[in-house]
Amino acid sequence: MEKKKLTADKKERLDVFLAEKLDKTRSSVKKLIEDGFVTVGGEKVKAGREVKNGEEIEVVLPDPVALDLTPEDMPIDIVYQDGDIAVINKPQGLTVHAGNGVKGATLVNALLYHLDSLSGINGVMRPGIVHRIDKDTSGLLVVAKNDAAHLSLSEQIKKKTCRRRYVALLEGVLKSDEGTVSTLIGRSEKNRTMMAVTPRGRTAVTHYKVIKRYDGYTFCRFELETGRTHQIRVHAKYLGHPIVGDPVYGYKSNKFGLKGQLLHAEELVLTHPRTGKEMTFRAEIPDYFKAVLSVLDKKQK
């Protein structure tokens, strides 16, 4: 179990305060409180209890329940692997790891089948997982095969020496050729399952550059400086140009019959944890993404 000690910085409901500080949904925080894992001033309290500036809150985070992670013989695109790392080109529609009601048929299940070892730092639910990409986002992510590699890769992400570049098709036409979006991203106050630009969030920085403009759409490249949940998707919406096909942050209309957002992690640059050599990996955009661009190219002529 992990203990966290927090200090309230303003007057508000306890469950609202903890949801933001712990980056959890209010329902999960409420369960922690009801189960007696939260105390204020050493006393157990109710979720609706109002905390005041300066009050001390202690939270005990129970260890995650071990799931039955069964190796599954699912086809995955292993771009590269050696004794320390593996780079995977994840398809759209595949969840990276179990949790939040998701069990089985995840990338982790496939990794357990195809790889001979995975790091254990992230626990039993997320072996080998250093960073994630969303279920309906395709593209590259690196997996650690031992703990030393995991620590090295995590430090590279923290120090921003591991570079992750994405491409996306946006709704509408961006005016600027390039720019940087720097905001705070946290849980949405209106819907705790969504992320949003909020004054109570954490720093999120995304760089973007236009690749091509179409009639009503913009094909862009994004580079992450930070790695917040749904960061590019939230920042695209913040720019007023959500990603085409995004069922959460985008438009309700689905003109191209897509199964998810047109967002692809096309390039990953990292330093190998053992050799110290810089390595660059690239993955072509998937066929369904190419098909949409082809339609737009034809209309452009």
Per the structure block, which two tokens stand in for 112? Answer: 């357990």
State if pTM tops 0.85: no
Is-catalytic flag, 84? Answer: no
Residue with tokens 């944890």: 273
Burial 242-278 (b: 16+ CB within 10 A, else e): bbbbbebbbeeeeeeebebbbbbbbbbbbbebeeeee
Catalytic residue among 15, 23, 63, 134: 134
pLDDT for the residue numbered 297: 95
pLDDT for the residue numbered 100: 56
Residues 222, 174: Cα–Cα separation, whole Å: 13
pLDDT for the residue numbered 156: 94
- pLDDT, block means (10 residues), the chain with 301 residues: 86 88 80 91 90 92 66 94 97 86 78 91 78 95 94 92 96 97 92 89 96 97 94 98 97 93 98 97 98 94 72
SS3 call for 113: helix
pLDDT for the residue numbered 124: 64
What domains sit in the chain, N to C, each tagged with a CATH number?
2-61 (3.10.290.10), 65-159 (3.30.2350.10), 165-265+289-300 (3.30.2350.10)
